[in-house]
Amino acid sequence: MILGIGTDIMEVARIRKAFAKTPGLREDIFTTHEIEYCESKANKFQHYAARFAAKEALLKAIGSGLQFGIRFNQIEISNNDLGEPFFNLKDQAKVFAKKKGIKKILVSLAHVKDYATAMVIVEG
């Protein structure tokens, strides 16, 4: 059963400017694994923007926002061997998902030169 759907779009330039303006912001939002992944890409800010959009879309889908002690860096996006993205929830995000009865989270990411987008479907 679908418990929630979320979507988000992010300007790539916005995340680039935010990182330049606010030291430590990257580490507040992304895990070490995500940072290593994005930094390895030629268009790293597109990848950061897509992952940020996915985190926002998930928070919309589960109806929590940044409440209940959930932090952005507790929501990690990884890729399987085929390159498909998936969520790895940690700490409070994992606890909240369990309380909500979330069994499966589907995520799709896309990015082009100036924009990144994500869609999330949460099933229980």
CA distance 5 to 77: 17
For residue 24, give the DSSP letter. Answer: T
pLDDT on residue 4: 96
pLDDT on residue 65: 64
Selected catalytic residue, list 41, 47, 100, 111: 111
Q: What is the mean pLDDT of each run of 10 residues along the chain (124 residues)?
A: 97 98 96 98 98 97 79 96 96 93 97 98 97
Q: Based on the residue annotation, tell me whether 60 is a catalytic residue of this protein.
A: yes
Q: Based on the residue annotation, tell me whether 33 is a catalytic residue of this protein.
A: no
pLDDT on residue 27: 97
CA distance 117 to 124: 24
Selected catalytic residue, list 60, 90, 94, 100: 60
Does domain 2-123 sit in CATH 3.40.50.1440? no
